[in-house]
Chains A and B, each alone.
Chain A
Amino acid sequence: MTRIEEKLTILADAAKYDVSCSSSGSNRKNTGGIGNASRSGICHTYTEDGRCVSLLKILLTNHCIYDCAFCVSRRSNDVKRAAFTVEEVVELTMNFYRRNYIEGLFLSSGIFKNADFTMERLLRIVKKLRTEERYNGYIHLKTIPGASEVLIKEAGLYADRMSINLELPTEAGLKLVAPEKDHVSVRTPLALINNHIRAYKAESSLIKHVPDFVPAGQSTQIVIGATPETDLEVMQVANEFYQEYQLKRVYYSGYVPVNDGNKALPAIGTAPPLIRENRLYQADWLLRFYDFRLDEILNPHHAQLDLDIDPKLSWALRNLHCFPVDINRADLKIIIRIPGIGKQSALKIVQARKFGKLHEYQLQKIGIAWNRAKHFVVCADSPFIPGYPAAAAIRNDILKNSYSKYKTSLQGNQLSLF
């Protein structure tokens, strides 16, 4: 194994717990060099855990001055340490990019010496890529908490997306496992960059050529299952961050235990909470694309998401008075709230019904999840049924007739009460 291969192995391994993978949202053009950004993003391959590999995701170094209990690169952990030089990262990125292996670079780093020193190194890499190699592909750069404003602002001129991870959803949880850190040091730079993005946007209506400043926006990551927060608390934080800092994405990362020794964290070997993670993403989508309010999905009476049914179905079963919906009459806003009907199908239904009333067989062909939707819709040929079955009956019927990809793990992980 050559030295560079060893470094790549160590530093890719340390970076993989950051789940942010998207390469979308930027429309940087190729201006006389190599590369451009693809609006929708492109996933170039997928690992066996089913996650996509879109960007070359590496740390500049895994040396770190902090000792966060949940992190594999914490100071007190006995792992191999390595660091790339600026040239090595540039070389790797360019050669992978030219072979169409990757969509761009995702660069993060452990904190060595201090925040400014680290940020300055990261900045040198992206600057070299953009100016010397004339590289216009996607760059996702980590903002280092505590770095000076000048450095962060300059980095924003070269990066497509920047992010800082919140890691633990509540301040109390953070104090438990990473006493050296706090949420303020995450919020300050998020606000700073967000203000600059908005300032540049405002200028672009007055000035013809405004430089791109973090065109794909910012994102953050919340670790799930490390500390005992409820889904409600997690989603409240996410919701607030979406509104406060106009984040493009909040990533939910099921905690993979990497360290032993801290009593507050799950032990090594505990399975990551994959189902919960999936349900949180579904709730996140409902908030952002389906016009749901947070209190409809989660509220103090219902603080955890249902694990065996999706949050939209769960909402529908709690609000049976809104159903059944006549798909030949209802508004688009109402149709996208029907379990089993997604946004695309809802749009198709609304367009297609102008040509004549839709029947059951047509609805099934359009591509909706009929097993779920059939309990909540009325089509042109639906029989009239007086009364409405109870929520529990619908739920059982759906679960009985569906194959959940989680069925085995649901039975395996959870003890039955009776």
Chain B
Amino acid sequence: MHYLFDGSYTGFLCCVFESFERKEFDVTPVTDVSFQNAFFTESRQIPADAGRAARVHAGLQNKCGKAAASDFYRVFLSEDPQAWYAAFHIIRKIFREGPTILNNYGDADLLFFSQTLKKVGRERHRMQAFVRFKKSSDGLYVSVVAPDFNVLPLLAGFFRNRYADQSWLIYDAKRKYGLLYDKRHITEVTLTEAEKNGLSITTAAVTLDEQEAAYERLWKSYYQSTNIVSRRNMKLHLQHVPKRYWKYLPEKFG
């Protein structure tokens, strides 16, 4: 049985609710856009209902604590159907048998779940490190990223606390939305078609502050001179900064 949901975490939790309500436990949750109807599989459309999702979330917090409950959200953000499948069945087991399953690393689902959790955490940490702001002429610090997983929601708190006195925008070019902070609140923003076309990782369609280029050059020359040539170790270097991240980093691409 395939449960089709709208791709939101609310929708995902509603799948859990539905499966208990209908006592259908052999379930694979998929998003309705990615689902391809096979000949013999049954499927059911699950509407997203905030009330039901809140009940599942509260139940989860009750069973295994706040921190562990938020792990399911993190794994959900991996956008990996296999991880969703694992998460779905772990939640089911938690409700039926209690939270001890979370320590059973011999279990294939749980091991995959914890590995995915680690991957998402690592991507979040990399974004904390590799986001590079460019200052625009009106004082807005802009950054365009394209993370492997949908980690922007996990970054909001970090950047709000750290850069509390400057307004900033972090835009996810892959998923077409961004977070805008106006020194008070964070809002989710999407761009118009024209704005999107003008935006790439290297050249943003905003006028930059006149000192921006100078500081970027200073940063590059700092990066060059802090390197010890006789210790060169490119293998380790690439392990720490895989090439797919170079596009964010002015010191690497130019």
User: A residues near B, CB below 8 A?
Assistant: 1-2, 4-5, 8-10, 12-13, 15-17, 29-30, 32-36, 38, 40, 42-53, 56-57, 92, 95-96, 98-101, 134, 254, 256, 271-272, 274, 348-349, 351-356, 358, 362, 365-366, 405
Contacts and interface: CB of A to CB of B under 8 A. Distances in A.
B186 to A, nearest CB: 15
B226 A99 contact: no
A254 B228 CA distance: 12
Contacts of A358: 106
Given A49-B232, A256-B231, A358-B106, A56 B237 contact: no
B154 interface: no
Contact of B215 (A47, A96, A100): A96
A356 B106 contact: yes
Given A8-B218, A8-B221, A365-B111, A256 B230 contact: yes
6 contacts: A36-B161, A49-B229, A49-B237, A100-B133, A256-B230, A365-B111
B135 interface: yes
Contacts of B228: 16-17, 47, 49, 51, 256
Listed residue (B130, B223, B230) with the most chain A CB atoms within 10 angstroms of its CB? B230
Contacts of B225: 8-10, 12-13, 16
Interface in B8-25: none
A30 B226 CA distance: 29
A95 B130 CA distance: 16
Contacts of A38: 128
B162 A16 contact: no
B184 interface: no
Interface string B189-229: 00000000000000000000001001101110111111111
A42 B111 contact: no
Contacts of A366: 105, 111
B133 A4 contact: no
B166 interface: yes
Contact of B237 (A13, A48, A57): A48
Contacts of B131: 100
Contacts of B74: none
Contacts of B227: 16, 47-49
B231 A274 contact: yes
A99 B165 CA distance: 13
Contacts of A4: 218
A98 B221 contact: no
B236 A50 contact: yes
B163 A34 contact: yes
A161 B12 CA distance: 45
Considering the complex of A and B, which 5 residue pairs feature the smallest CB-CB distances, nearest first?
Answer: A50-B236, A50-B233, A352-B105, A49-B231, A351-B103
B194 to A, nearest CB: 27
A413 to B, nearest CB: 14
Given A8-B221, A405-B235, 4 more contacts: A1-B221, A100-B163, A351-B103, A365-B111
Contact of B162 (A30, A44, A49, A134): A30
